[in-house]
Amino acid sequence: MPFPYARVAQVRIARPTQQLARVVSFYRDGLGLPELERFEEHAGYSGVILGLPGHTYHLEFTQHASVSVTFAPSTDNLLVLYIRRESELRGLRERLERQGHAAVEPENPYWLDKSVTFADPDGWRVVLCACANPVSPPQRLVARYCGDQDDNGNRDRIPGTHEERTVIGARQCVQRGTYAGGDESRNGASKDWTERGATSESHQQTGRRGKR
């Protein structure tokens, strides 16, 4: 799903460290993230960029020659990787354990029965979670007309009328079972309206006039 206000080409999470080689080895050689790029002594910084796992999402680790860096601020700072196949999750776990990384108990008990947690050399946690569909896609609604009715029974039009839109957490009126390009008139002949909000609850409005 695209960002609503901009076309984001890439996402990069950047983090400093004082043990660049060990941290990179954990993510690259342990988790298997590909190394995309590295640089040396750029204004005092050296760093490595890893794919997460491809070129669209990056992990970047940097080390400065004279700047000290603390470890993870808490044991609940997580990078969660959702693994679709349990056999692949087991393989990653065994790979990390062969490199001397032992699984740790998660701070949040939510992760206990569905994942395995490791700490990288700086103490930042990585959760490998067995889940095929971690996040349900947002409900796709078709915006029609919403707001007041004038004396002729027409409703105010909302932005994006007659366009399919993804609505998350915003209250909008939509015409149930109607899709863009349908055969209703542009004045909204049907009075079957559904009002949806952030809780995805709905109720019927039948011929309701005036302000909500």
pLDDT at 152 (0 to 100)? 58
pLDDT at 157 (0 to 100)? 45
pLDDT at 141 (0 to 100)? 44
Contacts of residue 139, Cβ cutoff 8 Å, sequence gap at least 6: 166, 167, 196, 200
Instruction: Identify the helix (H) or strand (E) that includes residue 164.
Output: strand 164-166
Hey, where are the domains in the chain? Answer: 11-130, 140-206
**pLDDT per residue of the chain (212 residues) written in tens, 0 to 9:** 677 889 999 999 999 999 999 999 999 999 999 999 999 989 999 999 999 988 899 999 999 988 888 788 899 999 999 998 999 999 999 999 999 999 999 999 999 999 999 999 999 999 999 986 666 655 544 444 445 444 555 544 444 444 344 444 443 444 444 334 344 333 443 333 343 443 333 333 334 444 44
- Topology classification of domain 11-130: 2,3-Dihydroxybiphenyl 1,2-Dioxygenase; domain 1 (3.10.180)
Task: Give the SS3 label for residue 193.
Answer: strand
Task: Give DSSP secondary structure letters for 27-77.
Answer: IIIIS-PPEEEEEEEETTEEEEEEESSSSSEEEEEEEESS------S-TT-
Q: Which long-range contacts (CB under 8 A, 24 or more apart) does 174-178 make?
A: 174/141, 174/142, 174/143, 174/144, 175/142, 175/144, 175/145, 178/142, 178/144
pLDDT at 1 (0 to 100)? 62
pLDDT at 68 (0 to 100)? 82
Spell 126-157 as b/e; 16+ CB within 10 A means b: bbbbbeeeeeeeeeebbbbbbeebeeeeebeb
pLDDT at 62 (0 to 100)? 96
